[in-house]
Amino acid sequence: KPTSQKVKNNWRSRYACARASPLVCPNQDLAVALNVLGRSRELDGLFANALAYERAVAVIKSYPNLITQETFKRDVAKLPGIGSKVHAKIKEYLEDGKIAETESILRSERYQSLSLFTTVYGIGPSTARHLYEIGLRTSEDLERYHDVAPGIDATELEVSESQLFTPNGQPIPQGNIKNDGKIPPISVKVALTLRKDFATPIPRSEVEEMHRVIMAELAEIQAGCTSTIAGGYRRGKPQSNDVDIVITHSDVKNGAEIIKGLCTKLTKRLHERGMITHVMHLSGFHTHNPLRTEHWDSLEKALTVFRLPALPLTPRSQSQSQLQFGPSAGERRLYRRLDLIFAPPETYWTAVIGWSGSRLFERDLRLWAKVEKGMKFDSSGLTRRHDSKIFVPKSEEDVFKILGLDWVDPTMRNA
């Protein structure tokens, strides 16, 4: 990264993409307390409300000083995104050291149940509310309702794994969640089975190991590919919920042609190796996915379930794994959510930015491009609106330059 381009401390901007947002900010406790309010609005389906809180939290995350009565009045109260409701909550926090509504939400059975239900892949806020309304509260209730064994977990998959495989990269619908007849990308039974694995955060070392293994497999099918681990990992999160890898080809001239169909080929290969066990989406076709309704780009991608092979039982690996704190030889590896995104060289950098997040940073990048620059930004490219002129950025820095934004390091995109 060029050190010459320093981040301008533009914390007053209304756009998250023009501010520096560290992973942990000087007002972290306040941000966390306000975030609970936003999350509860989201679980209640009040998305405009939730977004308002999300914006306010992001504004606070970029504020570089400790918020006190004085700095609140002087700076924070005047910032865009701090409306009257949030204003009152911050005031309360400064006076009492806590927000009463946050405390009561965290204690409430409804919030706890809805939060729990949405940890199951494919269950969004509206299905979660339905399950709550018909009387479900705990994970045991959820298991009983879906007729699966109490305490079911991923070890269940070991025996029946062969039938879960997805030949031709096609997802096999394994059942049906009773939410308006929509077929989930993976059955509720499988999702329940994977719930605990998915809820276990992925340490950076495992993200890197997955990336290594995947790129080695890709090199067997196609030489010359390059990649970036995007997502929360790139923003410096010590642990991630899933792994997002953006891939292109180093041949700038023929890369677009070379990567065509490569996503499907790689997915199949990883599937044959036993590493990809489920596919929720593969470029070319969409399965219904209630969690990703917002914004789709036109890149080839595979949204999958992935598992590293168990470490071999050799004396060498045993002594190695005693040294490293990782999994020991023969131990079950956890199932992980893996997204593979293929971009032609021309749109590689917009894809990398588009998949690095955070969600709000991306949202404001699109808004900034549209409102301030008359451009259209998304992971699959950068165009000028009035004449559809296509920009071809040569680097990540170039994207910021074209958009007229100061450089924001990925680790400062945690809006």
Partner in contact with 101, chosen from ligand DGT, Mg ion, none, beta carbon below 5 to 8 Å by kind: none
Shortest separation between residue 234's beta carbon and Mg ion, angstroms: 9
3 state DSSP class of 74: helix
Residue linked to tokens 């809006």: 415
Shortest separation between residue 243's beta carbon and Mg ion, angstroms: 7
* Using rule CB under 5 A, residue 244 touches Mg ion: yes
Shortest separation between residue 320's beta carbon and ligand DGT, angstroms: 28
Residue linked to tokens 């050291």: 97
- Residue type at position 374: G
Partner in contact with 362, chosen from ligand DGT, Mg ion, none, beta carbon below 5 to 8 Å by kind: ligand DGT
Nearest residue to Mg ion, scored by beta-carbon proximity: 231
- 331 phi/psi in degrees, rounded to 5: -70, 150
Report d(CA 262, CA 240) in Å as an integer: 26
User: Of 2-10, 75-83, 191-199, 238-246, which part binds ligand DGT (CB under 6 A)?
Assistant: 238-246
Residue 244's beta-bridge partner residues?
Answer: 339
Q: Which of 61, 89, 189, 301 is catalytic?
A: 89
Residue 391's beta-bridge partner residues?
Answer: 382
* Using rule CB under 5 A, residue 231 touches Mg ion: yes
Residue among 146 and 281 whose Cβ is closer to ligand DGT: 281
Strand 336-342 and strand 242-249: pairing? parallel
Q: Is 89 a catalytic residue?
A: yes
* Using rule CB under 6 A, residue 240 touches ligand DGT: yes
Question: 95 is written with which tokens?
Answer: 């006076």
Residue among 169 and 232 whose Cβ is closer to Mg ion: 232
* Using rule CB under 6 A, residue 268 touches ligand DGT: no
For 105, how many CA atoms within 13 A lie in the half-sphere containing its CB? 21
Residue among 76 and 230 whose Cβ is closer to ligand DGT: 230
Cis link prior to 388 (omega < 30° from 0)?
no
In the set 42, 54, 206, 244, which binds ligand DGT (CB under 6 A)? Answer: 244
* Using rule CB under 6 A, residue 296 touches ligand DGT: yes
Question: 142: closest CA among 184, 104, 114, 182?
Answer: 114
Partner in contact with 110, chosen from Mg ion, ligand DGT, none, beta carbon below 5 to 8 Å by kind: none
Report d(CA 64, CA 83) in Å as an integer: 20
Question: 247 is written with which tokens?
Answer: 């891939």
Report d(CA 247, CA 355) in Å as an integer: 11
Shortest separation between residue 91's beta carbon and ligand DGT, angstroms: 31
In the set 204, 211, 269, 292, which binds ligand DGT (CB under 6 A)? Answer: 292
* Using rule CB under 6 A, residue 248 touches ligand DGT: no
Alpha-carbon distances, residue 8 vs 14, 229, 408 (angstroms): 14, 26, 8
Residue 383 near residue 391, CB atoms below 8 Å: yes
Shortest separation between residue 229's beta carbon and ligand DGT, angstroms: 10
> What residues make contact with ligand DGT under the rule CB under 6 A?
231-232, 237, 240-242, 244, 292, 295-297, 354-355, 357-359, 362, 379
> What residues make contact with Mg ion under the rule CB under 5 A?
231-232, 242, 244
Residues marked active site are found at 89
